[in-house]
Structure 1
Amino acid sequence: MAEAFNLGEVFSKFLEVQRRLSEVQQALSTKTVAVEAGGGMVRVTANGLQRITRIQVDPEAFRTEDQEVLEDLIAAGVNKALEEAARMAQEEMQKTIGALLPPGLPLDLSLLGR
């Protein structure tokens, strides 16, 4: 005989996932990743909510006569930092709430921190 659908249990599980998501978001706001581009000429830091928190440019990079190269390095660093932050967030979410979700259900982080 099939087990009866328990709406209360489903709602309870939903509330637990929601609570844990909130905890993970709070934790991710304090975790950071730092990446380099151009051999260290540009260093970009992002938090786990995929927000850029710092961009550092080596003073030597400003002495170059090719502004486009510097702009490309900054863009590359920002993109790399956001990718690393997204990867970190995905791993943290999986560790924290993965066991509560049905198998095979992907974690959608597109709304995280928005």
Structure 2
Amino acid sequence: MQNMVKQMQKLQKQMQKDQEELHSTEFTGQAPDEAVVVKFTGDRKMVDIAIKEEAVDPDDVEMLQDLVIAAVNDAMDQIETQTQKTMGKYSRNIPGL
């Protein structure tokens, strides 16, 4: 029983370490032609956004909105994929998760 508790504590520490590492990782999302580039941390906080001048057209605000959405969605997809790779191993064999 003690051995099992020690294994669970070790697993919990490793999971915490992996989660902290994931949260500090930076992900870059891009719209087509890199017109908009966003950077997020693994805990889904935006830390930077770059918009090319040619993407800013006062007569076509919808295009810029679409580019921002595309870049953000690209970054979110990357974060989700990496989260599944990193943290999924901890829930793979737990029933109901």
Q: Counterpart of 1:49 in 2: which secondary structure? A: coil
Change (3 A) 1:22 1:102: closer
Of 7, 22, 28, the residue aligned with 1:28 is: 22
Q: CA deviation at 1:22?
A: 1.4
Matches within 5 A, 1:8-47: 8-47=2-41
Q: CA deviation at 1:70?
A: 0.7
Deviations 1:67-108 (A, max 9, x none): 0111111112111101101212222335xxx3xx586448x6
Q: Which 5+ residue runs of structure 2 have no aligned equivalent?
A: none
Query: C-alpha root-mean-square deviation of aligned residues, in Å?
Result: 2.4
Task: State which structure, 1 or 2, has the greater radius of gyration over its C-alpha atoms.
Answer: 1
The number of residues matched between the two structures is 96
Using the size of structure 2 for normalisation, the TM-score is 0.77
Change (3 A) 1:14 1:61: same
Change (3 A) 1:102 1:46: closer
Match of 2:66, as an amino acid?
Answer: D
Is 1:65 aligned to 2:65, yes or no? no
Q: Which of the pair is proportionally richer in helix?
A: 2
